[in-house]
A and B are shown apart, each in its own frame.
Chain A
Amino acid sequence: MSVLLETQGLTKRFGGLTAVNGVSLTVRRGEVLGLLGPNGSGKTTLMNLISGALKSSEGALLINGKDMTGSAPHRIAKAGVARTFQLVKILPSLTLEENVMVPAAFGPEGLWGRALKVQVAECLDMVGLTSRAGQQASELTYIDQKRLELARALASAPKLLLLDEWLAGLNPTELHEGIRLIRELEQTGITIIMVEHIMDAVRALCPRCAVMNSGTLIADGPTVEVLSDPHVVAAYLGEEDA
């Protein structure tokens, strides 16, 4: 399998704090990587560096073999990277349909007209929101907002999907449903990096895992091995979800 994403010594400093410290990570096409780590260990910051929301202080970012270090987020989106946000972000004054339309129209595919309609319908159907397509997004419940966010991320037909705790805050039934949805996605061959605190979900969905602690990558490998690594266990000691 060919390499889709490569970070080389990616570092991000906020004043005196080094939130991400020399992270080198290689993700191949079709892989589903779980990104773990205690609170404040730099997972979201790393996602922000990969998606271009933040510019790295040091290091390089290669997407599809192309150097995209310091690129603006819209360029990275056009290169095929889509994301959801830890604090769910929808476009409240737009309808569900319009929400999903946006990355399909402005992303790598640049759809318009009929092709756009088809794509939007497909994505809304995938997350089960078809019947509410014309509603305003601000009217959705939290779980439906999360669904909408996922549909929107998928609408650009991304090569790489970044999920930042997309499963957080769901009740057991919804969680079950969410896991099923992501597993369906995996079947399509999409590449995913998912930040997750819920270990059952990680075990169920991610064959490979990387663990961060205080900004540094402390483990990376097959999930079963990583989760029994003494360093990882120590990092998680006292963490409620571990």
Chain B
Amino acid sequence: MRYLLAIPALAALAALPMVFGDYGTGLLVGLAGYVTLVTSWAMFSGPTRYISLATVAFFGVGAYTVAVLNEVLPYPLVLLCAAGIGATMALLVGLSTLRLAGIYFVIFSFGLAELVRQLITWFEVNVTGTLGRYIFLDLEAKHIYWQLLALGAATLVLSAWIRRSRLGLALRVIGDDETVAAHSGINLARTKLVLFVVSATIITLVGAIQAPRWVYVEPSIVFNPTVSFLTVIMALLGGATRLWGPLCGAVPLFLLFEWLSARFPDHFSILLGLMFMAVVYALPDGVLAAIEKVRHRGNGTSATKPAKEASA
């Protein structure tokens, strides 16, 4: 039943560019991009509670792959290459870092984006002798939006499927207690690695699909750390452990940031930081959990504890 409802909903979303003008379609691209980024980020970080700041490392690699290959290969193959490179990079990074404890992982993941950016810059300057590339692809904003919409929908479906699968159960157990997980027969390293690679591959694809919007690309543009931070705030606001949480966080925050960056371009970073603290402080489990909590209180069903205390 609910799956059938998804078809008209998707069709309506796909028709939006016809209703909105160019500016509106541009917003839709950004929105669909962030919803997909945040949903795929939460796929790994939600249940495992590893806060990854590597989002832009993969996103940027996706975009850069398109910048390098767009004149060499047909577009579908370019996307395939981007996905392959993202997955390989995630595999290597995952193998070397997923044994780290939470806090070290955060720092490493942040450093990774910077490292990749410096490597590409060095390579472009010293080997190819060019810094900055052009993307000439005959893709309008609405084409990009449709691709992101399809990827976003696929990501949600995948996310829902993982939740019901063995893998989803394993991830929730790992999030609760790694010792119990291991002694129950769960291969910690492999489970985390699989999810990290899947999540990072989708993130890479978002970067690749969005790249043609820039036309001109250089490392400092595509490896902007704000992307990583925004992704985390959006996921935390919506609730990273819920299927629809990322979407609920990404939509309002994206629109808010869009408005803020137009209105207060000089103070954007400060506002971003304040927002981050406000979200973590006021809604540590996201809006969906908070709404549920208020509802429970309203119904007087205090016997069932809200999710927050349960996971503490």
Contact = CB atoms under 8 A, between A and B. Distances in A.
A101 B172 CA distance: 12
A101 to B, nearest CB: 7
Interface stretch (B83-91, B153-161, B304-312): B304-312
A105 B169 CA distance: 9
Given A105-B169, A106-B170, A136-B305, A89 B180 contact: yes
B166 A105 contact: yes
Contacts of B304: 136
B183 A93 contact: no
Most buried by A among B173, B175, B307: B173
Nearest to B307: A93
Contacts of A152: 180, 184
A101 B307 CA distance: 20
Most buried by B among A51, A103, A106: A106
A82 interface: yes
Given A105-B166, A138-B310, A139-B305, A93 B185 contact: no
A138 B309 contact: yes
Interface string B35-50: 0000000000000000
B183 A77 contact: yes
A30 to B, nearest CB: 23
B177 interface: yes
Contacts of A72: 182, 187
B162 interface: no
A91 B310 contact: no
B186 A92 contact: no
A22 interface: no
B23 to A, nearest CB: 43
Contact of B186 (A82, A89, A106): A106
B98 interface: no
Taking chain B's interface residues, is the majority helix, strand, or loop, or is none over half, making it mixed? helix
A102 B169 contact: yes
A91 B177 contact: yes
Interface residues of B, number: 25
A141 to B, nearest CB: 14
A112 interface: yes
Contact of B179 (A89, A93, A138, A156): A89
Contacts of A101: 169
A179 interface: no
A119 B152 CA distance: 38
A93 B176 contact: yes
Interface string A75-113: 001100011010001111110001001110111100010
Contacts of A138: 305, 309-310
B243 to A, nearest CB: 16
Contacts of B310: 92-93, 136, 138
A82 B180 CA distance: 10
A98 B180 CA distance: 13
A107 B182 CA distance: 10
Nearest to A80: B185
Interface in A129-168: 136, 138-139, 152, 156
Contacts of B186: 74, 102, 106
A53 interface: yes
A94 B183 contact: no
B183 A53 contact: yes
B305 A106 contact: no
A59 interface: no
Closest 4 CB pairs of A and B: A106-B185, A77-B185, A73-B182, A103-B184
Interface of B: 166, 169-170, 172-173, 175-177, 179-188, 304-305, 307, 309-312
9 contacts: A53-B182, A74-B187, A93-B175, A102-B169, A103-B185, A106-B170, A106-B185, A106-B186, A108-B185
Given A93-B307, A136-B304, 20 more contacts: A52-B183, A53-B182, A72-B187, A73-B183, A74-B182, A74-B187, A77-B184, A78-B185, A85-B179, A89-B179, A91-B177, A93-B175, A93-B310, A94-B176, A102-B180, A106-B166, A107-B185, A138-B309, A156-B184, A156-B185
